[in-house]
Amino acid sequence: MGLYVAVLDFNPNAVGIPYADEYFNASTMDENAVLNVAKEFQPDGIMTLATDMPMRGVAKVSNTLGLHSISYETAVKATDKYDMIKAFEEHNVPAPWFYLVKNIEELSQLKDKITYPCIMKPTDNAGSHGVVKINSFEELIEKYEYSHSCSRRGNVIVEEYLDGEEVSVEVMVVDGKVNILQITDKLTTGAPYFVEMGHSQPSRLDLNIQNQIKDVAERACKAIGINKGPAHVEMKVTSQYGPKMIELGARMGGDNITTHLVPLSTGIDMVECTIKIALGETVDVIPTLNCGSAIRYFEAPFGEIKSIEGVEEALKIEGVKQISFTKNIGEKSTPIHCSNDRIGFVIAQAESAKESITICEEAMKTIKIEIE
pLDDT (tens digit per residue) in 231-265 = 999 999 999 999 999 999 999 999 999 999 999 99
DSSP 49: S
Query: Per DSSP, what are the bridge partners of residue 304?
Result: 332
Reported as a pLDDT band with limits 50, 70 and 90, residue 83 is very high
Sheet with strand 344-350: strands edge to edge:
242-249, 229-238, 164-174, 177-188, 196-201, 292-297, 344-350, 320-325
Provide CATH 3.40.50.20 ranges for the chain. 6-75
Contact 225, 194 (CB under 8 A): no
Q: Which pLDDT belongs to residue 159?
A: 97
Fold (CATH) for 97-160 = Dna Ligase; domain 1 (3.30.1490)
Query: How many helices and strands in the chain, by DSSP H and E?
Result: 11, 17
For 115, the 3-state DSSP assignment is: coil
CA distances from 59 to 8, 11, 87, 232, 274 (A): 15, 22, 19, 17, 14
> Would you tell me how many other CB atoms lie within 10 Å of the CB of residue 194?
19
Provide CATH 3.90.1170.50 ranges for the chain. 292-371
Residues in CB range of 2: below 8 A, 6 or more apart: none
For 47, the 3-state DSSP assignment is: coil
Read off the pTM. 0.94
DSSP percent split of the chain into helix, strand, coil, nearest 5: 35, 25, 40
Angle of helix 72-79 relative to helix 81-90, nearest 10 degrees?
100
Helix (H) or strand (E) holding 265: helix 262-266
Q: Is residue 127 predicted with pLDDT exceeding 80? A: no
Dihedrals phi, psi of 152, to nearest 5 degrees: -70, -30
Residue from 128, 102, 124, 130 nearest 54 by CA: 124
When the pLDDT of each residue in the chain is averaged and rounded to a whole number, the result is 96
Q: Which pLDDT belongs to residue 317?
A: 99
Reported as a pLDDT band with limits 50, 70 and 90, residue 194 is confident
Q: Which pLDDT belongs to residue 126?
A: 78
How many angstroms separate the CA atoms of 281 and 312, rounded? 41
Residue from 262, 278, 224, 295 nearest 76 by CA: 224
Fold (CATH) for 292-371 = Aldehyde Oxidoreductase; domain 3 (3.90.1170)
Q: Which pLDDT belongs to residue 129?
A: 84
Dump pLDDT digits (tens) for 164-185.
999 999 999 999 999 999 999 9
Reported as a pLDDT band with limits 50, 70 and 90, residue 25 is very high
Reported as a pLDDT band with limits 50, 70 and 90, residue 152 is confident
6-75 maps to CATH 3.40.50.20: yes
Q: Is residue 128 predicted with pLDDT exceeding 80? A: no
The whole-number average pLDDT for the span 126-131 is: 81
Provide CATH 3.30.1490.20 ranges for the chain. 97-160
Contact 257, 203 (CB under 8 A): no
